[in-house]
Each structure stands twice: as C-alpha cells, then as structure tokens.
Amino acid sequence: MRKVFIFGTFDGLHEGHHSLLRQARAHGDHLTIAVAQDHIVEQLKNHPPKKPMHERIDALLEVDGVDIVIPGDEELGTYHVVRRHKPDVIALGYDQRELKFDLEEHARDFDWEVEIVVLEPFEPEKYHSSILENNSGK
C-alpha cells in the first residue's frame, strides 16, 4: 500500500481543494490529511481560521478518497505527524514552497524514504483561499 500525506488549513473547502485532494490521492492508495491547528493557522496567516479545526476535519472526512484526517502538529517544523504515519509520498500544494524547503531539510533525518511532490494548481486566480476570502467581503 502506497501512503500519501498532505498538509493544509482547509478553511472552507472549494474546487481548488478538491482538485488538490484528487491529485494527492492519485499518487497512492491511502490518503492522510493533517489539518493545521487553529493557533498554527493564526501564526502562518496572521489571522485565525474562519472555522475551528474540528469543523475543518469533519468537512474533509466527507470527501471521497480521504482515508484519515488528523490534527497537524502543535508546533511548526516538528513533523511528529509525519514520523507517526511514515508516508511514502508527501504531496504539497503549488503555494507551499516554504513547507517544501523545510520538509526536504527534515526528510534527511527520517528513517525511511519519502517522496515529496508538488501538485498542480487548479485555477489559482479563482480558487485560492485568500482570493475567495477577499471576494466574500464584497
């Protein structure tokens, strides 16, 4: 079984998220999603999430092809959830460049081989969460 792992906030699922999840699933047989903790979202995006983590997790559990949804790490850059689940593939969104760099540095310390792939954007000018957020206020 080829295990795929993905990180994200998933604060209001949209077509871009669904595309991301389909692409991630195509890299393996089992998809695990780590959902960012509320305080981590605030730290990364400088504002709290619109929905609490448990609601974001519940929404993802309803998506076809998703096997496990878990809370992300309590602290950025620790990768405890990755070590616990030992995925074969970590799939990243096209806009997760900093995470990719950090993961590549930490992957050297993992005691298994992991492939890091960057997924294709799906109409990012229309479906990026920050754009949808800005348009919802109009």
**Torsion angle, CA of 91/53/77/15, rounded to 10 degrees?**
30
Q: Is 137's pLDDT higher than 50?
A: no
> pLDDT band at residue 122, thresholds of 50, 70 and 90?
confident
Mean per-residue pLDDT, 93-117 = 96
> pLDDT band at residue 97, thresholds of 50, 70 and 90?
very high
The whole-chain average pLDDT of the chain stands at: 91
Q: Token pair of 109, please?
A: 């310390």
Q: Token pair of 50, please?
A: 């619109």
What is the C-alpha separation between 69 and 59, in angstroms, rounded?
10
Mean per-residue pLDDT, 68-89 = 97
Mean per-residue pLDDT, 9-35 = 96
The letter for the amino acid at 87 is: P
What is the C-alpha separation between 23 and 90, in angstroms, rounded?
12
Is residue 36 packed enough to be buried (19+ CB in 10 Å), middle (13-18) or exposed (0-12)? buried
Mean per-residue pLDDT, 93-100 = 94
Domains observed in the chain:
3-136 (3.40.50.620)
Q: What is the pLDDT of residue 102?
A: 96
**pLDDT tens digits, 29-76:** 999 999 999 999 999 999 999 999 999 999 999 999 999 999 999 999
Q: Is 126's pLDDT higher than 90?
A: no
Q: Is 111's pLDDT higher than 90?
A: yes
97 three-state secondary structure:
helix
